[in-house]
Amino acid sequence: MKRLLYLPFILAMVFVLQACTDDGGVEESAEESGGENGGEATGDIVIGSADDVVTLDPHGSNDSASSQVRRNIYEPLIFQTVEMELEPGLAEAWEATEDDVWTLTLREGTTFHNGSDFTAEDVKATLDRVRDPAVGSAVTFLFEMIEEVEVVDDHEVNLHTEYPFAPLPSHLAHSTAGIISKELIDEDYQAALDEAGVDMTPDEYYELRESGDDEFEEVMDEISEHIGQVLSAETDGTNHLMLESRSAGDEVVTTKFEDYQGGDRNFETVTFRVLPESGARMAELETGGINIATDVDSSNASRVSEGEDTELVENESVRLNYLGMNVEKEPFDDVRVRQAIAHAIDKEEIIEGVYDGNGVPAEGPLAPDVWGYNENLEGRSFDLDQARELLAETDVADGFSTTIWISEDQEIRDIALFVQERLGELNIDVEIEQFEWGAYLDILATGDQDMFIHGWTTVTGDADYGLYALFHTDSIDASGNRTWYSNPELDDLLDQGRTEPDEDVRYDAYTEAQEILVDEVPMSYLFHNNFMIGVNNSALDGVEVDPSGAVRLDDVTFE
């Protein structure tokens, strides 16, 4: 009787199985699941990063962890490809119509995440904000040459510069140049004005700022400490990801922007998880807890490349890793001390010992792939005898005690240990002090450091970005010049490199500048390492890493 009761169920299953094996049914099902992506599978991406986002405000910091998230939310006027070439972004075309005027034609039909239309007013609001002294942005140096953003019509702007500035298109492709909606910028200013007790609307503040009246200085001082509170927590861009939530120290969750104009995307959500410990990131990558692991160190590179379900994605970088010395503090104010330290460091030893050969020694501050690189530059090679001779000429011939500040990164700590050991041979007693990433960036801006290990990535691919921020007198502070180095002759060369439209003249200026920097040694230029990320390829394909270390998700596909 039991067998007879099951008979109708079995017959029903036979009919279901026959229907499922029909070719037409399979085709229709695939079409439905593919949706707008033409049959491509979609999914969720989880990226594991070593460092936490400092702020979601594009003008609030210039760190790589924040940039990795923000560059997917905010779209720049000009887009930089993985090959470092410039292509249309929110600007369809750009042209230097005069020596000091760039005209940009803007893309039409673009909307922000909040649904409002993108217009020239948003460009003006963004570029005015990053240059506002009340904001005090660490990336002002990228845009300070812009004197006026003139709105011609809804989809055309003229950027008037203080002087001819050849690398401006590259600067407009920087991640901190992503365009923010004027609506959110207004909200940020209104909150700052309200908190400061200033009875004024954002538009009234903008008019006051452009007038240059003395009253602006007073208002600016009053609101400066309140600027950025809204933009550090909320976002409104035009790029392919929208902010869903952020848990500081844990993760940032984003979702796909359905109205993005830059092409189809196959992901639904992208989560940026903070996993400071390298081993934990690798383990999560192997088990599928994360799909992408940034900052793969050399000790784990073979583990990722040889893994059954993991793939190592690698690219040459435009990054410099360096040992900075505070030239304002004794004994580093003596160039011979700095030269001695540079000669005492074995760069090859660090590259082999810490990075398993993944990198090339740095002759100077620019990587070989950066425009303006001096191919004939001869850096300071490892030579302990030369180091001793130089130190013997100084007031600290018998050695001295000092500190090296570093961030919480194992490879950086390993570099510091190599430096500590080598400098010990000159009777220089080095203590290593380690800080959390955000705190590390803050204290480097104070000028209290002796020595420190840091890096700089010339993301624009132009020598101006690689030299002006690190060595110009005007960049002393959080902008990049954390060695407190100041040299009028070098300033003149870097100013010439910025203002001269002739590429040959620019190149000559940067060539001479690099020679001065090798001689003056405000930092020991250590090496240029490749950028490596890990991908769990059991379900994900098409992930790229660019020469600035940014993970590119544009062409991601799912199995």
C-beta neighbour count of 24 within 10 angstroms: 7
> Band of the pLDDT at 41, cuts 50, 70, 90?
confident
pLDDT at 203 over 90: yes
Contacts 24+ apart (CB under 8 A), 441-449: 441/54, 441/61, 441/63, 441/478, 443/405, 444/405, 444/478, 444/482, 445/477, 445/478, 445/482, 447/326, 447/328, 447/482, 447/484, 449/324, 449/326, 449/403, 449/405, 449/482
Element (H, E) at 303: helix 298-305
pLDDT in tens, 62-105: 888 999 999 999 999 999 999 889 999 999 999 999 999 999 99
Asked whether 205 and 193 are in contact (CB, 8 A), the reply is yes
Domains of the chain, first to last: 64-223 (3.90.76.10), 241-316+531-558 (3.40.190.10), 319-528 (3.10.105.10)
How far apart CA 380 and CA 390 sit, in angstroms, is: 13
pLDDT at 265 over 50: yes
pLDDT of residue 343: 98
How far apart CA 56 and CA 244 sit, in angstroms, is: 12
Least confidently predicted of 2-6, 133-137, 501-505, 514-518: 2-6
Element (H, E) at 146: strand 146-153
> Band of the pLDDT at 40, cuts 50, 70, 90?
low
Asked whether 237 and 73 are in contact (CB, 8 A), the reply is yes
The alpha carbon dihedral of 375, 379, 382, 384 has a sign of positive
For the residues 534-546, what does the mean pLDDT come to? 92
The whole model's pTM is what? 0.80
Residue whose structure tokens are 């001695």? 340
Length, in residues, of the chain: 559
C-beta neighbour count of 146 within 10 angstroms: 20
What is the token pair recorded at 241?
């990801």
Residue whose structure tokens are 């959390």? 436
How far apart CA 523 and CA 419 sit, in angstroms, is: 13
pLDDT at 286 over 70: yes
Cα angle vertex 155, ends 150, 159, to 5°? 30
pLDDT of residue 213: 84
Strand partners, 48: 273, 293
Nearest to 450 by CA among 433, 425, 438: 433
pLDDT at 27 over 60: no
Asked whether 128 and 206 are in contact (CB, 8 A), the reply is yes
For the residues 213-226, what does the mean pLDDT come to? 92
pLDDT of residue 393: 96
What is the token pair recorded at 244?
């869903």
Q: Give the DSSP letter string of 59-103.
A: TT---HHHHHHHTTTS--SEEE-TTS-EEESSEEEEEEEETTEEE
pLDDT of residue 93: 97
pLDDT at 24 over 90: no
What is the token pair recorded at 367?
């990587």
For the residues 305-334, what does the mean pLDDT come to? 95
CA dist 386 → 339, 391, 394, 416, 525 (Å): 9, 9, 13, 21, 17
pLDDT of residue 20: 42
pLDDT of residue 64: 87
pLDDT of residue 191: 97
User: Taking the C-alpha atoms of 354, 358, 362 and 368 in order, what is their torsion angle to the nearest 10 degrees?
Assistant: -160
Mean pLDDT of the chain: 90
> Band of the pLDDT at 326, cuts 50, 70, 90?
very high
